[in-house]
Amino acid sequence: MNKQAFFLGCVIPLRFPGIEVAARRVFRQLGVECVDLDGYSCCPEPVVLGLTDRDMALAVSARNLALAEKAGADLIVLCNGCYETLAEADHAVRHDEPMKARVAELLASIGTRYEGKVTIKHFIEFLHDDVGLERIAEAITRPVDVPLALHYGCHLFRETTQRDTWRKPRMMKGLLEAMGARCVDYGLEQLCCGFPISQFDKDAALKERLLPKLRALSTTNAEALAFCCPACLNQFETGQGGVGELGVDVAKYPCVQVLELLAIALGMQPAELCLDFRSGSTKEFFECFWG
């Protein structure tokens, strides 16, 4: 088994460093040694950059994979978008011969290569399959005994080799339940957060995506909304303020990331999660239940 390296992405280390802190603590406490992927770049982000130029996106992505391969590491990816980009680039390089040749030529021009030896796992997948829910449940010292609604994020449904697109979303729910959370159904778990639409029409993103989800949530007893994707989390945290500006009166929810919850469940204090920079009531939520 290769060693493990975090693929932090852009959003977590630059906007939500508390999630990076939580990730490092969680994996260390569960006995998984993770190194940093030194010199990595944007995955690149699949919605805007990935659609801008496929050749460029694949080459930049393959360079990140080459870095991991050179370091003899497999990747644990902390972001849904990064996971999709890296997994698809890896799949293309392994299975698309013309693309493989093109990427090899481009990587050779900067003195590197990628031979497809890196295993890429979403952190949800790694925790579920490699660490195991039983081991996680045993390590928990402070169960997350709170009703939570889930937002999976579209890219969590992406699979490159399997047909079961619910594989990772089920894992996310299982992981939260292993922490002691009571997962609350609201019927719109699969609906997009609206981030891609917001790039073109911010109001439409709020009205057609965020608002229906908030209205559905308001019929439940959920105390917070749990995410694994930092882009979705950001869209919800900032978007809930935007919904207020639309003149719509709807309940707002704290937005929490799975790794933050797991860190708390493993004994970390809310004050260590760098919550001061978060929008909405996320800090209050953590302090109310675990402060």
Judged by beta carbon, residue 197 or residue 222, the one nearer other proteins is 197
Angstrom CA distances, 95 to 84, 126, 229, stand at 16, 24, 27
Question: Scanning the structure block, which residue is given the tokens 């609906």?
Answer: 191
Work out whether strand 3-7 and strand 73-77 pair parallel, antiparallel, or are unpaired: parallel
Taking the complex as a whole, the smallest distance from the CB of residue 90 to other proteins amounts, in Å, to 17
Contact between 223 and 183 under an 8 Å Cβ cutoff? The reply is no
> Which residue stretch of 38-46, 143-151, 173-181, 204-212 sits at the interface with other proteins (rule: CB under 8 A)?
38-46
Indicate the helix (H) or strand (E) that contains 148: strand 147-151
Site string for other proteins, 62-81 (x = CB under 8 A): -x------------------
Contacts of 25 by beta carbon, 8 Å cutoff, 6+ apart: 263, 266, 268, 272
Residues 195-224 that bind other proteins (CB under 8 A): 199-200
* Cβ burial, residue 115 (10 Å; 0-12/13-18/19+): exposed
Taking the complex as a whole, the smallest distance from the CB of residue 136 to other proteins amounts, in Å, to 24
Taking the complex as a whole, the smallest distance from the CB of residue 14 to other proteins amounts, in Å, to 4
Distance CA 253, CA 231 (A): 16
Question: Counting contacts by CB under 8 A, is residue 288 touching other proteins?
Answer: no
Distance CA 132, CA 130 (A): 6
Please pick, from the candidates 274, 280, 284, 290, the single residue that binds other proteins as defined by CB under 8 A. Answer: 274
Judged by beta carbon, residue 85 or residue 240, the one nearer other proteins is 85
Question: Counting contacts by CB under 8 A, is residue 280 touching other proteins?
Answer: no
Question: Counting contacts by CB under 8 A, is residue 10 touching other proteins?
Answer: yes
Binding site for other proteins (CB under 8 A): 8, 10-11, 13-15, 17-18, 20-21, 36-42, 44-45, 48-49, 51-53, 55-56, 59-60, 63, 106, 109-110, 112, 199-200, 272, 274, 276-277
